[in-house]
């Protein structure tokens, strides 16, 4: 079995060689996008020293691209048939998956999927550029600063399509327990603040009463890099919303800053989650050229209504202030994704999930005549990185003492409904003439730059 070359789960979710991983002792690496995760459920921000150490490891393992691969382009083309041949050859010769394949030739986004019946192939087309390692260990494009797409995530996306279909999509959430909510309610009943007293001194006791929060995942393998990206992005969104970390983007304050001195209700708790945000999928008349566009990620919100027994229900209501914060995060998402690469990694896995679902749902592999057994994992040639994901974590929550009581903000999540995106289609006959995938040279490789 060919181990997917990876230093995945280091601070940048980087990919390098499996040999380097073993040599550097990164098999149990617990950092994701600046968020430390260990099997015991401890989740926290990585320290500057940890970031520096991991960045040095990434630099030692990741090689920068050379030649044409190092040049930016608006139309890099990836042949899935040739990529699979490359992976088969690596497996047969005992070689490792190199950075060129692990980083999908520097692809930043997949904008088009092209059916190539003549060559029994499927082509992925999109902008690409050289990659580099940032000071914090993130591997990003030199020009745009965006995280590159990963082979590991593409393989997981293909393998997750049917599981996601059964589970109603891919979902991640970090949730308090009903028992924890009850304990917190009891704790707060006995709290009497004196006029002008800062309630911050109570937070340690409130977190202890709240207890561990549960990680819930559906539609994707829980031990995958893909799943850990969802958890880390959810965690980081909550930290920004609840002022547990400083917002790195001007114009995106924390929700706590926005809610200061506003009227709060202890029976309600704002919930935010990140979901897909795509334009209708465009196709030409005969379904050989498909276009995927849109920002990719948006933030949504609704109010959780907490009952006396700690259970939670929602009637779809949105607190205006929580909605304002969600809309602001959506507006600032691209800036946020550059400052915190874990959010760009989240958009990348959403993009790949949409691509894998499109190919599967529309039978594009059968139409083109390509056998995707390598990427789908049915022949066991490619082994994705595997990590133990904790089932619970220490509480990460903030508390607002408003004029009408306490509001606890602790819930969040990620939702990827790729089937809904793929089902929303429009026909654009002109696509066939807009997308050129002709090779600019005669190089016999699995990627090239279109004319």
Q: Who contacts 73 (Cβ-Cβ below 8 Å, separation ≥6)?
A: 127, 128, 129, 449, 450
Does pLDDT of 200 surpass 70? no
Distance CA 67, CA 90 (A): 22
- Residue 311 token pair: 């259970």
Q: Do the domain assignments include residue 267?
A: yes
Distance CA 152, CA 162 (A): 18
Q: Which of 346, 362, 366 is nearest to 414 (CA)?
A: 346
Question: What pLDDT is attached to residue 33?
Answer: 54
Q: Do the domain assignments include residue 1?
A: no
Q: Do the domain assignments include residue 204?
A: no
Distance CA 37, CA 14 (A): 16
Out of 57-61, 222-226, 273-277, 370-374, pick the least confident.
57-61
Reported confidence tier of residue 420, pLDDT bands at 50, 70, 90:
very high
Reported confidence tier of residue 264, pLDDT bands at 50, 70, 90:
low
Query: What backbone torsions phi and psi does residue 242 show, to the nearest 5 degrees?
Result: -100, 15
* Per-residue three-class SS string for 294-312: CCEEEEEEEEEEECCCCCE
Reported confidence tier of residue 308, pLDDT bands at 50, 70, 90:
low
Position with higher pLDDT, 199 vs 296: 296
Q: Which of 307, 316, 231, 311 is nearest to 271 (CA)?
A: 316
SS3 242: coil
Does pLDDT of 38 surpass 80? no
What DSSP element (H or E) covers 44?
Answer: strand 43-45
DSSP 68: G
- Helix, strand, coil in percent for the chain, rounding step 5: 40, 25, 40
What is the average pLDDT across 387-409?
Answer: 63
Distance CA 24, CA 36 (A): 18
- In a 10 Å sphere around its CB, with 0-12 CB exposed, 13-18 middle and 19+ buried, how is residue 315 labelled? exposed
* Residue whose token pair is 């002709």: 438
* Per-residue three-class SS string for 361-422: HCCHHHHHCCCCHHHHCCCCCEECCCCCCCCEECCCCEEEEECCEEEEECCEEEEECHHHHH
Does pLDDT of 271 surpass 70? yes
Does pLDDT of 9 surpass 50? no
Containing structural domain, residue 356: 27-177+212-442
Count of CA atoms in the C-beta half-sphere (13 A) of 170: 34
Does pLDDT of 211 surpass 50? yes
Does pLDDT of 135 surpass 70? yes
Q: Do the domain assignments include residue 90?
A: yes
**pLDDT tens column, 436-450:** 787 766 667 999 998
Question: What pLDDT is attached to residue 47?
Answer: 76
Reported confidence tier of residue 217, pLDDT bands at 50, 70, 90:
very high
Q: Do the domain assignments include residue 40?
A: yes
| Angle in degrees, CA 387, 107, 294, rounded to 5 | 95
DSSP 275: E
Does pLDDT of 14 surpass 50? no
What DSSP element (H or E) covers 75?
Answer: strand 73-79
- Residue 373 token pair: 């057994």
Query: What count of other Cβ atoms lies within 10 Å of the Cβ of residue 119?
Result: 13
Question: What pLDDT is attached to residue 320?
Answer: 87
What is the average pLDDT across 192-220?
Answer: 76
Asked if residue 62 lies in contact with residue 56, where contact means CB atoms within 8 angstroms, the answer is: no
Mean pLDDT over the full length of the chain: 81
Total number of domains constituting the chain: 1
Q: Do the domain assignments include residue 190?
A: no
Does pLDDT of 365 surpass 80? yes
Q: Do the domain assignments include residue 21?
A: no
State the sign of the Cα–Cα–Cα–Cα dihedral 126, 387, 37, 323.
positive
Question: What pLDDT is attached to residue 27?
Answer: 34
Q: Do the domain assignments include residue 449?
A: no
Does pLDDT of 137 surpass 90? no
Q: Which of 44, 159, 25, 34 is nearest to 393 (CA)?
A: 44
- Residue 306 token pair: 């907490």
N- to C-terminal Cα separation, the chain = 36
Reported confidence tier of residue 259, pLDDT bands at 50, 70, 90:
confident
- One-character DSSP codes across 132-183: EE-TTS-EEETTT-PBPP-HHHHHHHHHHHHHHHHHTSEEEEEEE-HHHHHH
């Amino acid at each position: 079995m060919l181990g997917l070359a990876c230093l995945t789960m280091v601070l940048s979710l980087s990919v390098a060689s499996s040999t380097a991983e073993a040599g550097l002792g990164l098999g149990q690496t617990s950092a994701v996008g600046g968020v430390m995760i260990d099997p015991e459920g401890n989740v926290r921000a990585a320290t500057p020293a940890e970031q520096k150490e991991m960045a040095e490891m990434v630099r030692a393992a990741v090689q920068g691209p050379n030649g044409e691969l190092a040049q930016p382009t608006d139309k890099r083309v990836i042949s899935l048939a040739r990529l699979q041949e490359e992976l088969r050859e690596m497996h047969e010769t005992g070689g490792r998956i190199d950075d060129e394949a692990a980083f999908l030739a520097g692809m930043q986004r997949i904008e088009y999927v092209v059916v190539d019946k003549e060559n029994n192939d499927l082509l992925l087309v999109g902008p690409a550029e050289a990659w580099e390692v940032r000071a914090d260990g993130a591997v990003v494009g030199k020009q745009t600063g965006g995280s590159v797409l990963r082979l590991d995530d593409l393989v997981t996306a293909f393998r997750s399509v049917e599981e996601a279909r059964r589970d109603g999509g891919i979902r991640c959430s970090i949730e308090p327990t009903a028992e924890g909510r009850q304990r917190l309610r009891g704790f707060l009943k006995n709290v009497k603040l004196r006029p002008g007293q800062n309630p911050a001194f109570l937070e340690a006791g409130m977190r202890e009463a709240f207890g561990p929060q549960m990680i819930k995942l559906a539609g994707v393998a829980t031990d995958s890099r893909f799943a850990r990206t969802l958890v880390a992005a959810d965690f980081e969104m909550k930290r920004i919303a609840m002022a547990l970390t400083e917002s790195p983007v001007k114009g995106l304050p924390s929700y706590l800053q926005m809610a200061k001195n506003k009227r709060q209700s202890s029976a309600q708790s704002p919930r935010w989650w990140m979901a897909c945000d795509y334009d209708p999928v465009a196709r030409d008349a005969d379904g050989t050229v498909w276009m995927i566009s849109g920002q990719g990620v948006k933030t949504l919100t609704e109010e959780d209504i907490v009952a006396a027994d700690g259970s939670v229900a929602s009637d779809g209501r949105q607190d205006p202030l929580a909605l304002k914060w969600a809309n602001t995060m959506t507006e600032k998402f691209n800036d946020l994704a550059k400052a915190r690469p874990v959010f760009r990694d989240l958009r990348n896995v959403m993009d790949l999930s949409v691509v894998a679902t499109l190919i599967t749902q529309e039978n594009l592999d059968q139409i083109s005549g390509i056998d995707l057994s390598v990427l789908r994992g049915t022949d066991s040639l490619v082994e994705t990185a595997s990590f133990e994901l904790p089932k619970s974590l220490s509480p990460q929550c903030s508390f607002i003492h408003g004029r009408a009581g306490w509001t606890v903000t602790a819930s969040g999540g990620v939702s990827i409904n790729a089937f809904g995106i793929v089902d929303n289609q429009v026909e654009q006959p002109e696509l066939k003439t807009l997308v050129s995938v002709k090779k600019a040279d005669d190089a016999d490789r699995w990627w090239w730059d279109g004319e």
